[in-house]
Structure 1
Amino acid sequence: MLKVGLTGGIGSGKSTVAQLLEVLGVPVYYADDRAKQIMNTQIEVVAQIKQLLGEEAYQNKVVNRTFVAQMVFNDKVLLQKLNQIVHPAVKNDFEQWCRFNSNSKIVVQEAAILFENGGFKKFDKMILVTAPVETRINRVMLRDNVSKEKVMERMNNQWTDEQKIELADKIIVNDDKQSVIEQTIELIKEL
């Protein structure tokens, strides 16, 4: 089984590429979605997050994402500690998911910070989705109904495309000029 990492900065379109891969029959593990579920359901993870961030990290037995984001996005040490709780749990969940999908020749994990957290090392191939910075900012502002400043805060917690390109095996350009569908189909052929 070929394990492929799919990543890209916020607003790059990595989820669009992931959905195209699924349509083409490739199983996709959405790491950020699974992380949210794990943060709400795995008792050990919930306890560790409460110990790190306090009881306010949960509201009605569900992670209080606004509170958690406010706590960690401007505190890199706290963010790293939170990641040290969540990332191992997601890694174990992904391995179980791979066993469940063991009949597939290719499996893909879609995640935002595979390069930043070193997670890319566990994959056979890495796909990077890129888009111009202004395009990404506009997409996120529309999608999340947030200010440019808020988008920039999130972007500042991620590597630039230039930093990621050096480590990527394949790049899909999502600049609204080139066909992402054609690039994704070509990618599957190459894999």
Structure 2
Amino acid sequence: MRPGGPVIGPIILGLTGSIGMGKSATAGMFAALGVPVHDADAAVHALYGPGGEAAAAIGAAFPGVRDPRGGVDRARLRDAVLGDPDRMAALEALVHPLVRAASTAFLARHAAAPLVVLDIPLLYETGGETRCDAVAVVSAPPEVQRARVLARPGMNEAAFAAILAKQMPDAEKRARADFVIDTGGGFPAAEAEVARIVARLTEGRAPPHRAGG
């Protein structure tokens, strides 16, 4: 969490959740209530796309990963770094500062908003919670998660297992979160929980707690 002291600017709510939990749909619920949402995945796609800030640097560092339009072919890039920690670290060193700059620009654009959401899939895994006043974790029962993920085109058991291995266990995320949004019971219930969270964080602008505060 951000250091203690008076809230300056909007309250920052981190939104995260493992694959198949319904995080993207939940981010849309916040947006539908008028809360500005920064989608970290969308920011990365823009950075990797034709003309994106990261495309040229990634192409230079990893020959053969550019696509015909001048962007980055993410499948080729994944193959180029898979199983190679040094190459992955080199990629992260290129991309992470640009992703951070995009979120900083987002916060500057919405400095007058009472509440903003940083939608970050690997929030805890990358230490992103230190930029937030509170964290909401989107969750669902394991069987619901599994069914959702395996229904995706091109997904299989091995790929699902590999993704889960890179993510903090759902139980640990839930334990660390200020709010848990359970989508397992259907999205109407999740929408109601999102509305309660927005009301709590914007009425009096008081986050649930702050480290050191």
TM, length-normalised to structure 2: 0.81
Q: 1:90 aligns with which of 84, 99, 116?
A: 99
User: 1:73–1:114: structure 2 CA closer, same or farther, 3 Å change rule?
Assistant: farther
Partner of 1:59: 67
* Cα displacement (A) at 1:12: 0.8
* Cα displacement (A) at 1:108: 0.5
- Render the CA deviation track for 1:83-108: whole Å, top value 9, x for unaligned: 22212111111111111122211111
Judge conservation of contact 2:55–2:71 (CA < 8 Å) in 1: no
Counterpart mapping for 1:1-191 below 5 A: 1-40=10-49, 41-43=51-53, 45-54=54-63, 56-60=64-68, 61-176=70-185, 179-191=189-201
- Inter-partner Cα distance in structure 1 for 2:155 and 2:23: 20
Counterpart amino acid of 2:25?
Answer: T
- Render the CA deviation track for 1:164-183: whole Å, top value 9, x for unaligned: 22331111112135811111
More helix by share: 1
User: 1:76–1:172: structure 2 CA closer, same or farther, 3 Å change rule?
Assistant: farther
Task: Report which stretch shifted further, 137-146 or 74-83.
Answer: 74-83
The number of equivalent residue pairs is 189
TM, length-normalised to structure 1: 0.90
Counterpart amino acid of 1:182?
Answer: A
Counterpart amino acid of 1:171?
Answer: V
* Cα displacement (A) at 1:159: 0.9
User: 1:139–1:176: structure 2 CA closer, same or farther, 3 Å change rule?
Assistant: same
The percentage of aligned residue pairs carrying the same residue is 26
User: 1:28–1:49: structure 2 CA closer, same or farther, 3 Å change rule?
Assistant: same
Structure 2 unmatched ranges of 5 or more: 1-9, 202-213
Judge conservation of contact 2:52–2:71 (CA < 8 Å) in 1: no
The alignment's C-alpha RMSD in Å is 1.8
User: 1:35–1:27: structure 2 CA closer, same or farther, 3 Å change rule?
Assistant: same
User: 1:79–1:12: structure 2 CA closer, same or farther, 3 Å change rule?
Assistant: farther
* Cα displacement (A) at 1:16: 0.9
User: 1:52–1:157: structure 2 CA closer, same or farther, 3 Å change rule?
Assistant: farther
